[in-house]
Amino acid sequence: MDLSAVFTADPDFADLALAEWRKVGGRPQRLAPGVYLAAPRDDYWSTAVTWQQQPPIFIRHICPAQLQIKLAGRLADLEQLAAAVPALHDLLDPALPFSVQTRLLVDNLAYKPFDVNQRLATAVQAASSAPLDVRDPRQVVSVVVAEHEGLSGFVGLSPAALNLSNWAGGVRRFAREPEQISRAEFKLLEALEWFGLSLPPRGTALDLGAAPGGWTRILRRHEQYVTAVDPADLHPSLQQDRNVRHLRLTAEEYLQRDPDQFDLIVNDMRLDGRDSARLMVAYARCLYPGSQALMTLKLPQTGREALLDHAFNILRHAYAIKGARQFFHNRSEVTVFLQPLVSSAR
Counting Cα atoms < 13 Å in the Cβ hemisphere of 224 gives: 23
298 is an active site residue? yes
71 C-beta neighbours (distance < 10 Å), count: 19
Q: Give, in order, the Cα–Cα distances in Å from 188 to each of 129, 197, 241.
A: 37, 11, 20
For residue 202, is it left (φ>0), alpha (ψ between -120 and 50) or beta?
left
Beta-bridge partner residues of 226: 205, 244
DSSP letter string over 129-178?
-PPB-SSS-SEEEEEEEEESSSEEEEEEEEEGGGSS-SSGGG----PPPT
Beta-bridge partner residues of 104: 145
Catalytic residue, from 70, 187, 298, 322: name it. Answer: 298
Cis peptide bond upstream of 212, omega within 30: yes
Q: 163 near 68, Cβ under 8 Å?
A: no
Q: Give, in order, the Cα–Cα distances in Å from 164 to each of 1, 6, 29, 217, 218.
A: 22, 12, 20, 28, 24
268/73 Cα distance (integer angstroms): 44
Enzyme catalytic residues: 298
